[in-house]
Amino acid sequence: MLFNVSGSIAYTDRQTAMRPSLWKYRYLLVLLSLLGILIVYQLAVVLLLRKTIVLPASSFQGSEIVNPYQNWNGDGQEKISLHAHSNEVWFTPERHTIKEIQSEYKREGFSNVAITDYGQISQTENPNYIRGLEWGQNLKKRHLLAIGIQKSFYDYFPVYATRENLNWVMDRMQKLGGYVIIPHPKLFDSFSREELSAIGGFQAVEVYSPFGDDPKILDSLLSQGRNVHCMASDDLHYFPENSIKTFDQPFWKDMIQTLGNQRYRKGESFLRYIVTADGVKDQPSVLASLNSGSFYCVKKFFQAAEDPKVPKIQVTKKNTIQLNSKERYLEIRFIGQKGEVLQVSPDTNKAEYTFQEKDSYVRLEMIALTGSVLSNAIYRSN
């Protein structure tokens, strides 16, 4: 009896000693199970949610010349900002309110601003505001911007997405009324030129961005016969200190902004934007201009600079591009297939260039004293 009792006690001690080790294995098993579920889920959506898009096989062709600025009306210009982030998303409470963003941009002469928060369409009391969202939660910053989209949708690719998956996302954005933009392609090299040439469904690329300016990206796409537009955006995450100190914000927000190194920095606000024709500033008319390419992309060289004026561009019956502006530009460049500089007109507010047989498209770059202006392509069509 004593032997049996002693043996039983020894076994119980051994069992107790093994419990911590068993719990470790259980935790590991749970983690591996969750990881396995994530891998299976990601593999499933990668295989199921995909779309193949047929891209143009040649450059623009035809005898007709399409000029997106042919019906440009009035002498005025409307400044529009299409990429700004607010504090409406739960994980960005330290950012600025929609009211603060709209107020600051209005003070700087902007006619409208789109709030493009991550994964959601943030609401505002202003009925004329431009709806938008930024899609993408992956670490490589492969994001997509949708302007005028009717509703948000879930990011099914938090870890990885193939080119066909991106095509599917952009197709869904367009079906929901969105004008699709590739934002900050140079940030972490999120979209290389090769990749942009292989995917479809976007209508513009942010060639003027705080994370890198590169207008030549357009030429690799336009040379394929793809009518992709330029885009210029602040990608606003914070205002400069002289704006922030005027806001009536709580102490905790001041503290988070300071710890996050968002205070006392110059910021990138008010420098990159698009210009639409006089009176084109509400969402429906801005979307119409975006879809037709009837807008300019502007980058100011510094915040205190005067806004460079955009030109009027007409194409005559003899296929001559005529540029007239109230601004005397340091240089006007006519750029064609594969980025070839076709003509440079220095120190002038007027310039002309006649389409040659070899020209599939022509876009213009105007360098002013206070900033640069890009046009969208004037191109051949049947």
How many other β-carbons are positioned within 10 Å of the β-carbon of residue 15? 10
In a domain, 38, yes or no: no
Tell me if 34 is assigned to some domain. no
In a domain, 42, yes or no: no
Q: Name the residue among 51, 57, 56, 55 with its Cα closest to residue 162.
A: 51
d(CA 275, CA 298): 7
Among residues 113, 161, 163, the alpha carbon closest in space to that of 136 is found at 161
Residue 30 lies in a domain: no
- For the entire predicted model, the pTM comes to 0.90
Q: What is the predicted pLDDT for the residue at 132?
A: 96
Contact criterion met (CB below 8 Å) for 195 and 142: no
Are residues 212 and 231 in contact, defined by beta-carbon separation less than 8 angstroms? no
β-pair partners for 135: 144
CATH number at residue 159: 3.20.20.140
Ordered alpha helix ranges (H), the chain: 2-48, 98-107, 163-175, 193-198, 217-222, 241-244, 251-259, 283-292
In this predicted model, what pLDDT tens digit does every residue of 245-270 receive, in sequence order?
Answer: 899 999 999 999 988 888 876 667 89
Range scoring the smallest mean pLDDT among 122-126, 193-197, 240-244, 353-357: 122-126
State the pLDDT at residue 377: 98
* Count of domains observed in the chain: 1
Let me know if residue 41 belongs to a domain: no
* Strands 272-277 and 77-84, sheet pairing: antiparallel
| CA distance linking residue 111 with residue 186, whole number of Å | 28
- Tell me whether strands 361-367 and 371-374 are parallel, antiparallel or unpaired: antiparallel
Q: d(Cα 371, Cα 300) in Å, to the nearest integer?
A: 4
In this prediction, residues 345-365 reach a mean pLDDT of 97
Is 362 contained in some domain?
yes
Can you give the residue range of the structural domain that contains 161?
64-381
- Between CA 203 and CA 295 the distance in angstroms is 13
Does any domain span residue 32?
no
| 156 within some domain | yes
Residue-wise pLDDT for 221-249, tens only, equals: 999 999 999 999 999 999 988 889 899 99
